[in-house]
């Protein structure tokens, strides 16, 4: 899946700023866990984040990858793999 994921530089022609967040998708509340899956650029690198729909539950940083295009590609691929697993689409 890594080859299919494009970086911000490949899509927009420039590097994203700190705070840029990419939406990988969601799992509905009737599927555990229900919430949004995103990738966010921080000063430390690319965070894979799960934002639960359940009120009062904090966001979970599931993994952090190094800054740069390779880290972005790895983080996006990881987020998509986790999302597929949550939907039951993993092979």
CA 64 to chain CA centroid, Å, is: 10
- 36's enclosing H/E stretch is strand 35-41
pTM: 0.88
Distance CA 54, CA 32 (A): 11
- Chain segment 14-55, per-residue pLDDT in tens: 999 999 999 999 988 777 778 999 999 999 999 999 999 888
Tokens of 89: 């689409």
Whether pLDDT at 80 is above 90: yes
In the chain, where are the structural domains located? 20-87
The predicted model gives 5-21 an average pLDDT of 94
- Chain segment 61-71, per-residue pLDDT in tens: 999 999 999 99
pLDDT of residue 1: 45
pLDDT of residue 75: 97
Tokens of 5: 């994921």
């Amino acid at each position: 899946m890594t080859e299919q994921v494009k970086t911000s530089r490949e899509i927009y022609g420039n590097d994203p700023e700190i705070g840029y967040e990419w939406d990988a998708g969601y799992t509905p509340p009737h599927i555990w866990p229900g919430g949004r899956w995103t990738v966010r650029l921080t000063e430390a690198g690319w965070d894979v984040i799960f934002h639960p729909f359940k009120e009062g539950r904090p966001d979970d940083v599931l993994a952090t990858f190094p800054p740069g295009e390779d880290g972005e590609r790895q983080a996006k691929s990881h987020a998509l793999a986790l999302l597929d697993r949550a939907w039951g689409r993993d092979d």
